[in-house]
A and B are shown apart, each in its own frame.
Chain A
Amino acid sequence: MRETFDDFLRRLKRRRRWFLVVEICAFALIFARLSFLQFIEDERYSLLSQRNCVRFIPILPQRGDICDKNGKILATNAGSYRLFLENPLKKRLEHVLTFLHQELALSEAPIARLREESLKKPCLSLMLVRDGLSWEEVSRLAFLQPIWPELYVTLGYSRAYPYDEVFGHVTGYVGLPEAHSATSADAQDIAQGSSLLLKHPDYRTGKTGLERTFNSTLLGKAGFRKVEVNAAGKVIRQLELSLAEAGTSLKTTLDADLQAFAYALLKPYKVASCVIIEVPSGAVRCLVSVPSYSPMDLSQGKSSSWQKVLHDPNHSLLHRAIAGQYPPASPFKIVTALAALEAGIVSPKETVFCPGYFELGNHKFHCWNKFGHGAINLAEAICKSCDVYFFSLAGRLGIDRIATMAQRLGFGELTGISLYGEKKGLVPSRSWKFLSRQEKWSPSDTILVSVGQGPVLATPLQLATFIAHIANKGMRVHPTLIEDVMPPLEDMGFRPETIAFLQRTLIEVCTTGTGRRARPDNPAILVAGKTGTAQVRSISSQDRASGKTDTRQRPWNERDHSLFVGYAPADDPRYALAIIVEHGGKGGEVAASLAKDLFEKLLTDAHEEKKTHAPPL
Chain B
Amino acid sequence: MHRLYNRLIFFLIRNSIFLLIVVLIAAIGVIAQYSVSGGCWVSRAGKHALRFWMCTGVMITVALTDQRFWYAWAYWMYIGTLLLLFFVELLGFVGMGAQRWIDLYVLQIQPSELMKIMLVLALCRYYGTLTKQETRAPGVHIKPLLMVAVPCGFILKQPDLGNALILVSVGLGVIFLAGIQLWKMSVAFFLGICGLPFAWQHMHAYQKKRVLIFLNPDQDPLGAGYHLLQSKIAFGSAGLFGKGFLKGTQSHLNFLPEKHTDFVFTVICEEFGFLGGSALLLLYVALIGLSYAMTSGVKGYFGRLMGGALTFLLFLHVFINVGMVMGLLPIVGVPLPLVSYGGSSMLSTAIALGFILNIAHYSTLRLGG
B323 in contact (CB, < 8 A): yes
Asked if residues B274 and A34 are in contact (CB atoms below 8 Å), the reply is yes
Contact with A along B300-318 (1 / 0, CB 8 A): 0100110110011001000
Task: Determine the residue in chain B with the shortest Cβ distance to A232.
Answer: B254
Give the total number of A-B pairs whose CB atoms are below 8 A apart: 136
Stretch at the interface among A24-32, A575-583, A595-603: A24-32
Task: Determine the residue in chain A with the shortest Cβ distance to B274.
Answer: A38
Q: Which of A4, A29, A229, A231 contacts B328, CB < 8 Å?
A: A29
8 A Cβ contacts from B229-243 to A? 229-230, 232-240
Task: Specify which chain A residues have a CB less than 8 angstroms from the CB of B278 in the assembled complex.
Answer: 31, 34
Stretch at the interface among A12-20, A361-369, A494-502: A12-20
B168 in contact (CB, < 8 A): no
CA of A48 to CA of B292, assembled, Å: 41
A41 in contact (CB, < 8 A): yes
A143 in contact (CB, < 8 A): no
Asked if residues B235 and A8 are in contact (CB atoms below 8 Å), the reply is no
Asked if residues B281 and A230 are in contact (CB atoms below 8 Å), the reply is no
Task: Specify which chain A residues have a CB less than 8 angstroms from the CB of B229 in the assembled complex.
Answer: 48
B250 in contact (CB, < 8 A): yes
Beyond A9-B369, A27-B281, A34-B269, whether A46 also contacts B239 by CB under 8 A is yes
8 A Cβ contacts from B252-292 to A? 253-255, 269, 273-274, 277-278, 281, 285, 288, 292
A371 in contact (CB, < 8 A): no
Task: Specify which chain B residues have a CB less than 8 angstroms from the CB of A4 in the assembled complex.
Answer: 131-132
Asked if residues B253 and A53 are in contact (CB atoms below 8 Å), the reply is yes
8 A Cβ contacts from B129-156 to A? 131-132
Beyond A4-B132, A232-B254, whether A12 also contacts B237 by CB under 8 A is no
Asked if residues A49 and B234 are in contact (CB atoms below 8 Å), the reply is yes
CA of A31 to CA of B328, assembled, Å: 11
Closest Cβ–Cβ distance, residue B289 to chain A (whole Å): 8
Beyond A49-B250, A53-B255, whether A13 also contacts B281 by CB under 8 A is no
Asked if residues A15 and B177 are in contact (CB atoms below 8 Å), the reply is yes
Beyond A9-B301, A26-B315, whether A38 also contacts B239 by CB under 8 A is yes
Asked if residues A30 and B326 are in contact (CB atoms below 8 Å), the reply is yes
Closest Cβ–Cβ distance, residue A536 to chain B (whole Å): 62
8 A Cβ contacts from B175-231 to A? 176-179, 229-230
Q: Categorize the interface residue count of chain A.
A: 35 or more
Task: Determine the residue in chain B with the shortest Cβ distance to A17.
Answer: B296
B322 in contact (CB, < 8 A): yes
Closest Cβ–Cβ distance, residue A472 to chain B (whole Å): 67
Asked if residues A16 and B292 are in contact (CB atoms below 8 Å), the reply is yes
CA of A34 to CA of B277, assembled, Å: 8
Task: Determine the residue in chain B with the shortest Cβ distance to A41.
Answer: B236
Task: Determine the residue in chain A with the shortest Cβ distance to B131.
Answer: A4
Q: Which of A31, A48, A229, A236 contacts B237, CB < 8 Å?
A: A48
Task: Specify which chain A residues have a CB less than 8 angstroms from the CB of B178 in the assembled complex.
Answer: 12
CA of A9 to CA of B304, assembled, Å: 8
Closest Cβ–Cβ distance, residue B252 to chain A (whole Å): 8
A45 in contact (CB, < 8 A): yes
Q: Which of B176, B301, B304, B319 contacts A26, CB < 8 Å?
A: B319
Q: Which of B255, B274, B285, B315 contacts A52, CB < 8 Å?
A: B255
Asked if residues A230 and B254 are in contact (CB atoms below 8 Å), the reply is yes
A135 in contact (CB, < 8 A): no
Task: Determine the residue in chain A with the shortest Cβ distance to B250.
Answer: A49
Beyond A5-B369, A8-B132, A45-B235, whether A39 also contacts B274 by CB under 8 A is yes
CA of A50 to CA of B236, assembled, Å: 11
Asked if residues A34 and B236 are in contact (CB atoms below 8 Å), the reply is no
Asked if residues A48 and B369 are in contact (CB atoms below 8 Å), the reply is no
Asked if residues B236 and A49 are in contact (CB atoms below 8 Å), the reply is yes
CA of A12 to CA of B308, assembled, Å: 9
Task: Specify which chain B residues have a CB less than 8 angstroms from the CB of A554 in the assembled complex.
Answer: none
Asked if residues A15 and B281 are in contact (CB atoms below 8 Å), the reply is no
CA of A595 to CA of B173, assembled, Å: 105
A359 in contact (CB, < 8 A): no
Q: Which of A15, A30, A228, A231 contacts B308, CB < 8 Å?
A: A15
B249 in contact (CB, < 8 A): yes
CA of A27 to CA of B288, assembled, Å: 11
Contact with B along A60-91 (1 / 0, CB 8 A): 00000000000000000000000000000000
CA of A42 to CA of B237, assembled, Å: 6
Beyond A37-B236, A38-B239, A45-B235, whether A19 also contacts B301 by CB under 8 A is no
Beyond A30-B319, A34-B269, whether A45 also contacts B232 by CB under 8 A is yes
8 A Cβ contacts from B305-350 to A? 305, 307-308, 311-312, 315, 319, 322-323, 326-328
14 additional A-B residue pairs with CB within 8 Å, beyond A8-B369, A29-B323: A4-B132, A7-B132, A9-B304, A12-B301, A15-B177, A16-B296, A19-B308, A33-B327, A34-B269, A34-B281, A45-B232, A45-B233, A48-B236, A48-B237
Query: Could you name 15 residue pairs across A and B whose Cβ atoms are closer than 8 Å?
Result: A5-B369, A15-B176, A20-B292, A23-B312, A26-B319, A30-B281, A30-B326, A35-B274, A38-B238, A38-B239, A48-B237, A49-B234, A52-B253, A52-B255, A231-B255
Q: Which residues of A contact B (CB under 8 A)?
A: 4-5, 7-9, 11-13, 15-16, 19-20, 23, 26-27, 29-31, 33-35, 37-39, 41-42, 44-46, 48-50, 52-53, 228-232, 236
- Which 8 A-B residue pairings sit nearest by Cβ, starting from the closest? A45-B236, A49-B237, A230-B253, A231-B254, A37-B235, A16-B308, A46-B237, A38-B274
